A = this chain, B = another copy of it.
Amino acid sequence: MTISASNDARGRRIRLGMVGGGKDAFIGAVHRIAARLDGEFDLVAGALSSTPEKARESGLALGLAEDRSYGSFEDMANREAAREDGIEAVSIVTPNHMHAPAARAFLQRGIHVICDKPLTATMEDAQGLADAVARSSALFILTHNYTGYPMVRQAREMVAAGDLGTVRVVQVEYPQDWLTEAAEADGTNKQAAWRTDPARSGAGGSVGDIGTHAHNLACFVSGLAVEALAADLQSFVPGRRVDDNAHVLLRFAGGARGMLWASQVAPGNENALRLRVFGDKGGLEWCQEDPNYLWFTPFGEPKRLLTRRGAGASAVANAASRTPGGHPEGYLEGFANIYADAAGAIRAARGGERHERLGLLPGIEAGLDGMRFIDACVRSSKADAAWVRL
């Protein structure tokens, strides 16, 4: 029952800035905990809100030095790039439509970017950002955090190793219930407000907010790309401007088929992301709400419960693990694994090297895939669920 010493930072901590994540934000605080958990980063600068005054207040509340709490990301990018002790990386945790301009500002100054998903609000922005990444020497990391879970990484490894044989069927679903009613209607729920506003979230509602996670997870684990899809999107809540339920048929390269269901109107579901992959030799199942476990059934044999750091856990799962089996890790630890690997990649980049686990980190390609997925879903649904190739 040892804990990996690698979970304590080595050498000088990485100086980190943040764009977004002020008061009333959700995901900003998650990023801060994830950055702090392994002691790899020091948050030293921020442009935490879109109004300068609020940005200052939030900065003070987080203990930032007064001169490093900025009123805009442009200001922050300029001034931090000019400092001897300026930030080496920035976390972008704004609503989707701000991802591209903010990320570009830092990338062009050689500052590494850790960006929340989905990549952007529009395909145009996505392409522009991809160009900026291509031109920059800095790393771009997208927090598809569910790929940080140890047993998700093990699942990917098992599929790649052929434990399931040829993959035939991929079932992925991501039901929630928090938008069952019109939570965005009165403006007090800021999360509901921007996530259902096409101008800020993009054309996809549930399909963008959580469908992209499901799509990413299915591809990450199966090792397969979606070639075509047929999507039936709905907005069940009267007045809602984006979809709140998405039913999608999937066809993968190589012949596997799948289904994806994303919903924010399914009472009794909190955050029930669940993936099942079936091949001609076996099947796998993983649930985000019970993430320390992976069910594996070799065809014709009893189902087996593989546990994080327990019997049946693989080296890749153990490397992403901090506590012994039976001592549950959760959402924040999975998120922190993205940050830990980002730290490794940034440290390697300091020395001009490439980090060994960089391949596990979602980047601009995963981001573009996600945008193509949203776009295809929206176009397919408008065409009455016609097949759309990605």
A-side residues, CB < 8 A to B, are 1-5, 7-11, 13, 23-26, 29-30, 32-33, 36-39, 61-63, 164, 168-169, 171, 173, 176-178, 180-181, 191, 230, 232, 234, 236, 245, 247, 249, 251, 257-259, 261, 263, 265-272, 276, 278-283, 285, 288-292, 295-307, 310-312, 322-333, 384-385, 387
Partner among B230, B267, B295, B332 whose Cβ is within 8 Å of the Cβ of A297: B267
Which residues on the B side are within 8 Å of A10 (C-beta)?
61, 63
A245 & B168 in contact (Cβ 8 Å cutoff) = yes
A268-B282, A323-B30, A385-B249 in contact; A61/B312 too (CB < 8 A)?
A: no
Residues of B within 8 Å of A331, CB to CB, are 323, 327-329
Q: Which of A303, A304, A329 has the most CB of B within 10 A?
A: A303
- Could you show 8 A-B contacts with beta carbons less than 8 Å apart? A26-B324, A29-B322, A30-B322, A232-B251, A270-B324, A303-B305, A322-B332, A332-B332
Q: Indicate how many identical chains form the complex.
A: 4
Given known A-B contacts A328-B291, A330-B329, A24 and B37 have beta carbons under 8 A apart? no
CB distance from A8 to the nearest CB of B (A): 5
Q: How far is the CA of A2 from the CA of B25 in the complex (A)?
A: 6
Look across to chain B and name the residue whose beta carbon is closest to the beta carbon of A261: B259
Besides the known contacts A177-B297, A289-B292, A328-B330, 20 further A-B residue pairs in the complex with CB atoms under 8 A apart: A3-B26, A8-B32, A26-B324, A30-B322, A169-B236, A181-B280, A232-B249, A267-B278, A267-B279, A267-B283, A268-B297, A268-B303, A269-B283, A271-B326, A272-B326, A289-B326, A302-B304, A302-B307, A303-B311, A323-B332
Q: Which residue of B lies closest to A268 (CB)?
A: B297
Q: How far is the CA of A32 from the CA of B4 in the complex (A)?
A: 12
Question: Contacts A61-B10, A290-B290; is A271 near B26 (CB within 8 Å)?
Answer: no
- Neighbouring B residues of A8 by C-beta, 8 Å: 29, 32, 61-63
Cα(A177)–Cα(B311), bound, Å: 11
Q: Which residues of B contact A288 (CB under 8 A)?
A: 326, 328
A5-B61 in contact (CB<8A) = yes
B257 and A245 contact, CB distance less than 8 A: yes
Residues of B within 8 A of A329 (CB): 330-332
State the CA gap A33–B340 with chains docked (Å). 13
Find the residue from A38, A280, A285 having the highest chain B CB count within 10 A. A280
A173 to chain B, nearest CB (A): 8
Which residues of B are found within 8 Å of A177, using beta-carbon distances? 283, 297, 299
Tell me how far the C-beta of A156 lies from the nearest C-beta in chain B, rounded to whole angstroms. Answer: 18
Q: A330 contacts which of B36, B297, B330 (Cβ < 8 Å)?
A: B330
